[in-house]
């Protein structure tokens, strides 16, 4: 276990150093060419990734997310404790800033501000969902982004979820 922890620490340090080197490279590039890579990243300008037509995007999505037979779950009577205000505050503090919004287009910062300002109301909603053993269908929806891997025809899938769904999931966990 101690060997694992040491290797994990070394890996984290290497990642941090690589990120710092890339940041420094971007600053240098910005000094050389104000309209270069750094500008494109900041303005979210189109990168030079391969364009996908709709058929190709659907094919890749089906390959990444195969379908399965529908499963019907039997609900039992809800038992156990409800979520507490302390648990909600702990989960709220862990909401990261600067991340992309999900399909609801509500940034994590807005969700965090809402939960900070109205924790009792949010807790009531989460506890009602727990009591009914429901997870809102709209929170199960994700925006799929396919990010091209460098020097490859493969893609890295990223699914953007609603921050509220993540909060409920963490409360349940």
Mean pLDDT, residues 76-105 taken together: 89
Three-state secondary structure of 76-103 = CCCCCCCCCHHHHHHHHHCCCCCCCCCC
What torsion, rounded to 10 degrees, do the Cα atoms 23, 28, 32, 38 define? Answer: 10
Q: Would you state the pLDDT for residue 77?
A: 64
Using CA atoms, how far apart are residues 165 and 27, in angstroms rounded to an integer?
A: 36
As to burial, measured by CB atoms within 10 angstroms (0-12 exposed, 13-18 middle, 19+ buried), residue 82 is middle
pLDDT at 25 over 80: yes
Q: Would you state the pLDDT for residue 46?
A: 47
List, in order, residues 6 or more apart from 87 with CB less than 8 Å away.
Answer: 171
Q: Would you state the pLDDT for residue 78?
A: 60
Structure tokens of 146? 């396919």
Query: 44-54: per-residue pLDDT in tens?
Result: 644 455 677 88
pTM over 0.85: no
Query: 101-126: per-residue pLDDT in tens?
Result: 999 999 999 999 999 999 999 999 99
Q: Which helix (H) or strand (E) holds 113?
A: helix 108-117
């Amino acid at each position: 276990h101690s060997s694992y922890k040491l290797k994990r620490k070394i890996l984290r340090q290497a990642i941090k150093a690589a990120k710092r080197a890339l940041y420094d490279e971007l600053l240098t590039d910005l000094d050389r060419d104000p309209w270069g890579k750094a500008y494109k990243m900041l303005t979210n300008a189109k990168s030079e990734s391969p364009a996908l037509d709709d058929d190709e995007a659907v094919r890749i999505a089906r390959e990444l997310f195969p379908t399965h037979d529908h499963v019907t779950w039997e609900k039992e009577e809800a038992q156990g404790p409800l979520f507490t205000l302390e648990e909600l505050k702990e989960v709220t503090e862990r909401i990261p800033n600067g991340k992309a919004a999900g399909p609801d287009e509500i940034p994590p910062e807005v969700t965090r501000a809402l939960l900070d300002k109205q924790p009792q109301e949010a807790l009531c909603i989460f506890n009602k969902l727990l009591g009914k053993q429901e997870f809102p269908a709209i929170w199960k929806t994700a925006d799929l982004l396919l990010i091209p891997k460098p020097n490859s025809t493969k893609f890295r899938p990223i699914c953007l979820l609603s921050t509220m769904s993540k909060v409920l999931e963490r409360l349940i966990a």
